């Protein structure tokens, strides 16, 4: 059976992700795997200390690798995994790219606002507060739908950037 | 007072919030159109926004301590839509509405509150069950829980470990069993629907609910026209089962006012009531009138078959 590369990515904490190799088939000539995390402008992000523009996913790591300190804010990313082999099978698939949205920072902040409301429910009557919270929700949802329905990294990142700005300036918004 | 962390599991609250959101949307529209609005028109949006927050946290860390507070907050936001949402989810109580009129015709909605330890309380501290001694309580209508809170979930509808209750309905009473012991001072409210006189609605579908089934394996359901009960068909009767003072009388109160046939094995035939070979006893049982029949000195085997007909 020809090798067919595939993978999933899961955000474990604010900054850490796990990449799971869910490939089918086999190819003994594969020597290693590389993971590229690309933004909408094609620039790549890697954890601090990594000197390449990709994260190495060695075979001896097994089917899963935890990549720490990768996400220092929310991102919409095009993630590419490449299975390196000197003699690829023409029927196989060795290069797979998928789009992912990481909103842990925004959602955590947003959830924190809801926690605030449990102890100060009257705050929802503060018009700017709730209007801005509603805007934050919209930005997160827009980012989600940009990826889910359009695989549109640019639109998603624009929304995430706007949400990031609100969080950075929370004293003015909330 | 014993306090639940959340009135329902967080997953249920999230589901209730989703339903409440569209119920609120409709309500806000009607409210604005016809009553000039006394409902916060932001409510559907608020339900969405807060539900999304709780849902996100629940999907990432379902045991987060903060979920109790935020889920309760979300639950409170659902407000007047909680009960309707629970009914839509199939977890609510309530009574039957006649669809032709929209009214609970011939039905009565009863609500009673009591405080554990007070004189009129239905339970004492440490109890875990009580009985509603009222006939014709509608099956599936009972709602029970802490006063001022939403009803507790029923046993089996939520994961174990939560406070739940189990109602068991019968024609003349309803048993409420809790899976915990009540604490003195706690205030509870129970509500249930009752059929009125002449009602066409009857609990349990066509009569009373089934009597308790435990300990009645292999038996069949009988009725005396009012009360259902389990009994064996046929009943195997030996000499030892006869009244040993006369050897001809067999007593069994489950046979009261019942019609039955009796096969006498040693005689190789049925005993014929019309021929006077046995006489039924109104309180349950019969007397054998065959000449020479004496269960005190002879070994007999009789098989009694209840016809299911009353006197």
**At CB < 8 Å, which residues of chain B contact A?**
42, 45-46, 48-50, 52-54, 56-57, 66, 69-70, 72-73
Q: Which residues in chain A have Cβ-Cβ distances shorter than 8 Å to B52? A: 110, 137, 141
Q: Which residues in chain B have Cβ-Cβ distances shorter than 8 Å to A144? A: none
Is-cis flag, bond preceding B251, omega within 30?
no
Summarize the confidence of residues A115-129 as an average pLDDT.
89
pLDDT of residue B173: 85
Closest residue, chain B, to A134 (C-alpha): B49
pLDDT of residue B84: 86
Summarize the confidence of residues A79-102 as an average pLDDT.
95
Better pLDDT: B27 or A57:
A57
pLDDT of residue B203: 45
pLDDT band per the 50, 70, 90 thresholds, residue A14: very high
Closest residue, chain A, to B57 (C-alpha): A111
With pLDDT > 70 as the criterion, what percentage of chain A qualifies?
A: 100
pLDDT of residue B310: 58
Instruction: For residues B7 and A174, give the distance between their C-alpha atoms in angstroms, rounded to a whole number.
Output: 30
Give kind and range of the element (H or E) at residue A172.
helix A170-173
Are B57 and A110 within 8 A, CB to CB? Answer: no
Are B42 and A115 within 8 A, CB to CB? Answer: no
pLDDT in tens, chain B (311 residues): 334 477 788 889 999 999 999 999 988 888 777 766 677 888 999 999 999 999 999 998 888 888 989 999 999 999 889 888 888 887 766 665 666 666 655 667 788 888 898 888 889 899 999 998 888 788 788 889 888 777 888 887 777 778 889 988 887 888 999 989 999 889 998 888 877 543 444 444 444 567 777 777 767 777 766 677 777 677 889 999 999 999 999 998 878 877 888 999 998 889 998 889 999 998 889 999 998 999 999 999 999 887 756 55
pLDDT of residue B3: 42
Closest residue, chain A, to B46 (C-alpha): A134
Are A114 and B45 within 8 A, CB to CB? Answer: no
Note which residues in 133-162 of chain A have CB less than 8 A from chain B: 133-134, 137, 141
Are B46 and A111 within 8 A, CB to CB? Answer: no
Instruction: For residues B187 and B145, give the distance between their C-alpha atoms in angstroms, rounded to a whole number.
Output: 9
Task: Name residues whose C-beta falls within 8 Å of residue B166's C-beta, 6 or more positions apart in sequence.
Answer: B154, B155, B156, B176, B177, B178, B179
Q: Which residues in chain A have Cβ-Cβ distances shorter than 8 Å to B70? A: 111, 114-115, 118
Q: Which residues in chain B have Cβ-Cβ distances shorter than 8 Å to A119? A: 69
Q: Which residues in chain A have Cβ-Cβ distances shorter than 8 Å to B66? A: 111, 115
Are A111 and B70 within 8 A, CB to CB? Answer: yes
Query: Could you write out the DSSP letters of every residue in A12-62?
Result: -SSS-EEEEE--BS--TT--EEEEEEE-TTS-B---TT--SSSEE--GGGT
Interface test with A, best of B45, B53, B74 (most A CBs within 10 A): B53
pLDDT of residue B247: 92
Are A134 and B52 within 8 A, CB to CB? Answer: no
Interface test with B, best of A109, A110, A117, A132 (most B CBs within 10 A): A117
Better pLDDT: B108 or A147:
A147
Are A110 and B56 within 8 A, CB to CB? Answer: yes
Better pLDDT: A35 or B8:
A35
Are A111 and B53 within 8 A, CB to CB? Answer: yes
CB contacts < 8 A, A to B, total: 40
Summarize the confidence of residues A135-164 as an average pLDDT.
95
The alpha carbon of residue A135 is apart from the nearest alpha carbon of chain B, in Å, by 10
B56: nearest CB among A107, A118, A124:
A107
pLDDT of residue A104: 95
Query: Could you write out the DSSP letters of every residue in chain B?
Result: ----SSSS-HHHHHHHHHHHHHHHHHHHHHHHHHS---S-TTHHHHHHHHHHHHHHHHHH-TT-THHHHHHHHHHHHHGGGHHHHHHHTT-------BTTTTB-TTEEEEEEEEETTSTT-SS-TT--EEEE--TTBPTT--EEEETTSPPPPBTTSS-TTS--EEEEE-SS-EEEEESS---TT-EEEEEEEEE-TT-S--TTTTSSPPPP-TT-TT-EEEESSS-EEEE-SSEEEEGGGS-TTTSSEEE-GGGTTEEEEEEETTTTEEEPTTTTSEEE-TTSEEEE--TT--TTTS--EEEEEEEEEE-
Q: Is A167 helix (H, G, I), strand (E, B) or coil?
A: helix
């Amino acid at each position: 059976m020809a090798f067919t590369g595939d993978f999933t990515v899961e955000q474990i904490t604010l900054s850490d992700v796990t990449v799971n190799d869910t490939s089918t088939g086999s190819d003994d000539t594969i020597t290693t795997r590389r993971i590229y995390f690309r933004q909408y402008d094609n620039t790549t992000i890697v954890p601090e200390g990594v000197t390449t523009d990709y994260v190495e996913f060695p075979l001896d790591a097994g089917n899963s690798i935890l990549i720490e300190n990768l996400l220092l804010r929310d991102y919409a990313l095009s993630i590419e995994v490449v299975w390196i082999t000197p003699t690829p099978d023409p029927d196989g698939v060795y290069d797979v790219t998928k789009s992912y949205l990481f909103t842990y920072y925004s959602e955590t902040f947003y959830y924190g606002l809801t926690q605030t409301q449990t102890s100060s429910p009257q705050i929802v009557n503060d018009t700017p507060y709730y209007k801005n919270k509603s805007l934050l929700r919209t930005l997160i949802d827009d980012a989600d739908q940009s990826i889910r329905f359009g695989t549109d990294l640019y639109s998603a990142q624009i929304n995430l950037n706007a949400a990031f700005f609100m969080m950075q300036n929370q004293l003015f918004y909330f | 007072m014993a306090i639940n962390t959340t009135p329902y599991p967080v997953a249920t609250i999230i589901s209730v919030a989703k339903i409440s959101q569209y119920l609120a949307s409709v309500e806000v529209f009607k409210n604005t159109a016809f009553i000039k609005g006394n409902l916060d028109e932001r409510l559907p949006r608020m339900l969405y926004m807060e539900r999304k927050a709780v849902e996100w946290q629940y999907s990432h860390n379902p045991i987060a301590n903060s979920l109790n507070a935020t889920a309760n907050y979300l639950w409170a936001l659902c407000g007047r839509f909680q009960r309707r949402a629970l009914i839509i989810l199939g977890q609510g109580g309530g009574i039957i509405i006649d669809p032709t009129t929209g009214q609970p015709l011939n039905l009565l909605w009863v609500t009673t509150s009591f405080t554990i330890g007070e004189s009129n309380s239905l339970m004492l501290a440490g109890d875990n069950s009580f009985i509603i001694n009222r006939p014709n309580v509608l099956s599936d209508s009972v709602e029970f829980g802490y006063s001022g809170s939403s009803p507790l979930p029923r046993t089996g509808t939520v994961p174990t470990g939560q406070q739940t209750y189990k109602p068991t309905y019968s024609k003349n009473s309803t048993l409420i069993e809790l899976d915990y012991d009540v604490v003195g001072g706690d205030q509870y409210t129970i509500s249930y629907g009752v059929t009125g006189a002449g009602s066409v609605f009857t609990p349990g579908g066509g009569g009373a609910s089934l009597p308790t089934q435990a300990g009645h394996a292999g038996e069949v359901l009988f009725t005396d026209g009012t009360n259902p009960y389990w009994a064996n068909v046929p009943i195997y009767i030996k000499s030892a089962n006869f009244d040993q003072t006369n050897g001809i009388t067999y007593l069994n109160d489950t046979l009261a006012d019942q019609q039955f046939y009796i096969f006498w094995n040693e005689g190789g035939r049925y005993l014929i009531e019309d021929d006077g070979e046995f006489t039924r006893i109104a309180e349950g049982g019969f007397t054998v009138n065959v000449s020479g029949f004496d269960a005190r000195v002879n070994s007999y085997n009789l098989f009694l078959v209840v016809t299911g007909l009353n006197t």
